């Protein structure tokens, strides 16, 4: 089948729940394929874009948890799906597995049943590279808590799910939110090696449909083929951070203008002075936003529905003593 850019973006927006906000409490559905939380409070902002009634502490809801995923990035995921995002990205080779399990054993030995700051655990382990502690995220036996200023870790029971089942579910979730896609992009997103990615991809090949997009060959789950073919653009305003799933893959597809793309995804050393997010209007990026505590500045690229944008910005679930404030900055 063939798909247009508009169909793909509409499919992804609807699959990731940006088309209509889910009812209050639907946090697991909103985090189905993981929400990156590396930028302070990005996870709760991702929830806010998808669910009604999100609160500043919704990231810490009992139905959710935080892990180190894809190269050690902080992610908010459904707690019941720990196995999918941890064991699902576990390497198959013996050496790689041994390195992860050894690090996990050492971390758990230091924790001794407690929750501790990651920095303190790394100091006790005397690691040459403190970030190496993040290896244990793939074991499924160590979870984290990151409140935008400090990060803690604590142990948990190893999930009972079979590793191969976890790998298959992980690639299905990737295709469900990011499809149509390629094996190579799955390897990048999941943080797994090309050999592992190829083996997992082959295991679901019978459930895929080839899609031609701008002259490239991609794949979508068979069960999603009709939804892709019939996808219609979404309507409404959403404010999403620049690590949001909607922006995570295919940046050139999401935003075709290279100059504008640099404003959402600034190159290293070329930062505009703040971490930007995107103003999404009817599925297309129509501006940039920035936030300092509860103060949000909107940089529109074209006419925007002021009331709708300000309603989204002023309701950001960010705790603070100051009142929410929205200001507009128009170039020129």
Lowest mean pLDDT among 45-49, 115-119, 260-264, 287-291: 260-264
Q: For 195-222, what is the mean pLDDT?
A: 97
Return the exposure string of 197-234: e unless at least 16 CB atoms fall within 10 Å of the residue's CB, then b: beebbeebeeebbebebeeeebbbbeebbebbeebeeb
Q: Enumerate helices (H) and strands (E) in the chain, giving the number of each.
A: 14, 13
Report pLDDT for 148. 81
Please, are residues 179 and 228 in contact by the beta-carbon 8 Å criterion? yes
pLDDT digits (tens, 9 = 90+) for 82-101: 999 999 999 999 999 999 99
Lowest mean pLDDT among 111-115, 244-248, 327-331: 327-331
pLDDT digits (tens, 9 = 90+) for 122-133: 999 998 888 999
- CA-closest candidate to residue 134, choices 89, 200, 78, 185: 89
Q: Who wins on pLDDT, 59 or 128?
A: 59
Q: For 300-329, what is the mean pLDDT?
A: 91
- CA-closest candidate to residue 196, choices 136, 155, 138: 138
Question: Is the pTM above the cut of 0.85?
Answer: yes
Report pLDDT for 264. 83
pLDDT digits (tens, 9 = 90+) for 281-299: 999 999 999 988 889 999 9
Report pLDDT for 130. 86
The H or E element containing residue 221 is: strand 216-221
Judge whether residue 137 has pLDDT over 90: yes
Rounded to the nearest integer, the mean pLDDT of the chain is: 93
Report pLDDT for 293. 83
pLDDT digits (tens, 9 = 90+) for 150-160: 999 999 999 99
Instruction: List the strands of the sheet with 295-300, edge to edge.
Output: 237-241, 277-281, 284-292, 295-300, 325-328
Q: Who wins on pLDDT, 25 or 248?
A: 25
Instruction: Band the pLDDT of 262: cuts 50, 70, 90.
Output: confident
Say how many C-beta atoms besides its own lie within 10 A of residue 175's C-beta: 25
Q: Who wins on pLDDT, 83 or 332?
A: 83
User: Of all residues in the chain, what percent carry a pLDDT higher than 70?
Assistant: 97
Q: For 239-245, what is the mean pLDDT?
A: 93
Report pLDDT for 270. 61
Cβ contacts of residue 328 below 8 Å, gap of 6+? 297, 298, 300, 306
Report pLDDT for 272. 59
- Could you write out the DSSP letters of every residue in 78-140? EGGGHHHHHGGG--SSHHHHHHHHHHHHHHHHHHTT--EEHHHHHHHHT-SSGGGGGGGGGGT
Judge whether residue 332 has pLDDT over 60: no
Q: For 55-79, what is the mean pLDDT?
A: 95
User: What domains sit in the chain, N to C, each tagged with a CATH number?
Assistant: 33-155 (no CATH), 163-229 (1.10.10.10), 237-328 (no CATH)
| Pair of tokens at residue 288 | 């940039």
Instruction: Band the pLDDT of 274: cuts 50, 70, 90.
Output: low
Instruction: Band the pLDDT of 239: cuts 50, 70, 90.
Output: very high
């Amino acid at each position: 089948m063939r798909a247009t850019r508009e169909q793909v973006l509409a499919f992804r927006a609807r699959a990731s729940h940006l088309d209509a906000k889910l009812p209050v409490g639907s946090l697991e559905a909103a985090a189905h394929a993981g929400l990156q939380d590396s930028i302070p409070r990005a996870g709760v902002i991702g929830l806010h874009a998808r669910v009604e009634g999100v609160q500043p502490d919704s990231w810490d809801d009992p139905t959710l948890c935080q892990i180190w995923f894809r190269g050690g990035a902080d992610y908010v995921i459904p707690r019941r799906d720990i196995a999918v995002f941890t064991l699902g990205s576990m390497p198959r080779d013996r050496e790689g597995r041994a390195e992860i399990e050894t690090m996990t054993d050492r971390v758990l030995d230091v924790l001794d049943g407690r929750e501790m700051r990651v920095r303190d655990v790394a100091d006790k382990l005397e690691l040459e590279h403190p970030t190496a502690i993040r290896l244990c995220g793939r074991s499924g036996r160590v979870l984290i808590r990151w409140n935008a200023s400090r990060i803690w870790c604590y142990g948990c029971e190893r999930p009972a799910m079979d590793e191969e089942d976890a790998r298959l579910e992980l690639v299905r979730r990737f295709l469900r939110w990011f499809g149509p896609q390629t094996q190579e992009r799955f390897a990048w997103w999941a943080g797994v090696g090309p050999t592992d990615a190829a083996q997992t991809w082959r295991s679901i090949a019978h459930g895929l449909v080839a899609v031609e997009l701008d002259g490239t060959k991609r794949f979508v789950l068979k069960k999603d083929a009709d939804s892709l073919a019939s996808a219609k653009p979404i309507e409404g305003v959403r404010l999403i951070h620049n690590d949001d799933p909607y922006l995570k893959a295919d940046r050139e597809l999401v935003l075709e203008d290279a100059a504008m793309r640099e404003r959402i995804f600034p190159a290293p050393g070329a930062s505009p002075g703040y971490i930007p997010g995107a103003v999404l209007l009817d599925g297309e990026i129509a501006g940039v936003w920035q936030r300092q505590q509860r103060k949000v500045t909107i940089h529109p690229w074209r006419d925007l529905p002021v009331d709708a944008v300000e309603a989204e910005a002023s309701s950001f679930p960010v705790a603070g003593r100051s009142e929410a404030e929205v200001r507009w900055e128009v170039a020129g």
